[in-house]
Amino acid sequence: KTPYVVSSKSYTAVAINAAAKTGEWIKSKVGSSLKMSTKYSEQDLVTEVDKGAEQMIRRLILTHFPDHAILGEEGVEPGPDASNLALQAVKDEEFLWIVDPVDGTTNFVHGFPFFSVSIALAHHGEIIVGVIYDPIRDELFVAEKGKGAYVHGNRMQVSQEEHLSDGLIAVGFPPDPSFALPANMAAVQALAPKVRNLRAGGSAALHLAYVAAGRLSGYTEIGLNPWDIAAGALLVQESGGMVTSTAGHPYDLSVRHVTASNGKLHHELITVLKEAKATGIAEDK
Ligand code: IPD
Ligand code: CA
Ligand code: CA
Ligand code: CA
């Protein structure tokens, strides 16, 4: 392993620049007529803006770091195991950028103002930079490994709720009606009576950024992909929170069933999901 010695500053600057420029362009396309198609399921939408945004981000990264690898959502064939295979192919790269050009495409298409650009950089599989940009609110969330996480320059800290009964918890529904929907409905059913309330905003990346910012106590979703989680996971960790699989195992890039929280109510959150067999993981059933 090459030790990670280069200052992450330049990587972070490139990530911020790519997220901000692309986010502005995405925002300018809200409400315009869009070429749209479906991916793996009827619910899984993709637009010309998703594809164009990914191209922009790739170009901006490769201009500075031509030999770095990029795993971007729109570069991966749709399908239930496609992201695992795509990750396998690049996971040993020294520098790997993990890109979700538009997280919350359904919201974008409907003009529901909750979507984001998510860009992470991993060094030998360890995430060292995470940037999420919400172009509607002009909110920029930035984390560097070991250096904290910031929203527009202000240090973020997770919320303080100790128990689920005081917690505002986000959930989600990936566009996979066969596996993800039943699994996530089971999680909703288990959590609803135990929490203060549930939210489903429709952008995994922003849910994670909101856990980091202390606006949500926790977030759990079954059936995500690496680009939905990578940047947000570092934001949560660097804000003092916790990120694991839904079964409570440590987070790494291969985790697709994720639970993030302020740390304090993490155990309770995982316990409820496990007791209800609502982790989405076959061994727990
Ligand atoms: C989706 C969003 C959504 C989540 C889905 C993701 P996309 O990403 O994060 O909140 O429920 O699982 O696929 O496709 O809009 O980038
Ligand atoms: Ca998508
Ligand atoms: Ca996504
Ligand atoms: Ca996307």
> What architecture (CATH level 2) is domain 164-284?
3-Layer(aba) Sandwich (3.40)
CA–centroid distance, residue 208 to ligand 1 (Å)? 12
Ligand 1 pocket, residues with Cβ under 6 angstroms: 73, 100, 102-105, 172-174, 202-204, 221, 224, 228
pLDDT one-digit tens code per residue, 156-167: 999 999 999 999
User: What is the per-residue DSSP string for 134-170?
Assistant: ETTTTEEEEEETTS-EEETTEEP------SGGG-EEE
* ipTM, two decimals: 0.97
Q: Which atom of ligand 1 is nearest to the CA of 174?
A: 12
Tokens of 207: 């849910």
CATH 3.40.190.80 occupies which residues in the chain? 164-284
Residue 282 has pLDDT above 90, yes or no: no
Neighbours of ion ligand 4 (CB under 5 A): 73, 100, 102
Q: Evaluate whether 122 touches 90 at the Cβ level (below 8 Å).
A: no
User: Lowest-pLDDT range, 30-39, 116-125, 264-273?
Assistant: 30-39
**Structure confidence at residue 284 (pLDDT):** 47
pLDDT one-digit tens code per residue, 216-242: 999 999 999 999 999 999 999 999 999
Which of 36, 40, 103, 246 is the pocket-test mutation for ligand 1 (most atoms within 8 Å of CB)? 103
Q: Which atom of ligand 1 is nearest to the CA of 223?
A: 12
Strands 45-47 and 36-38: antiparallel
Q: Which atom of ligand 1 is nearest to the CA of 73?
A: 16
**Structure confidence at residue 138 (pLDDT):** 98
How far apart are alpha carbons 51 and 40 in whole angstroms? Answer: 16
Nearest ligand to the CA atom of 227: 3
Looking at 3.30.540.10, 3.30.420.130, 3.90.550.10, 3.40.190.10, the CATH number of the domain 9-155 comes to 3.30.540.10
Q: Evaluate whether 101 touches 120 at the Cβ level (below 8 Å).
A: no
CATH 3.30.540.10 occupies which residues in the chain? 9-155
How far apart are alpha carbons 150 and 197 in whole angstroms? Answer: 26
CA–centroid distance, residue 41 to ligand 1 (Å)? 13
Residue whose CA lies nearest to ligand 1 atom number 16: 103
The torsion defined by the Cα of 65, 142, 144 and 244, in degrees rounded to 10, comes to: -110
Strands 149-151 and 154-155: antiparallel
Segment 158-182 shows an average pLDDT of 95
Segment 190-197 shows an average pLDDT of 98
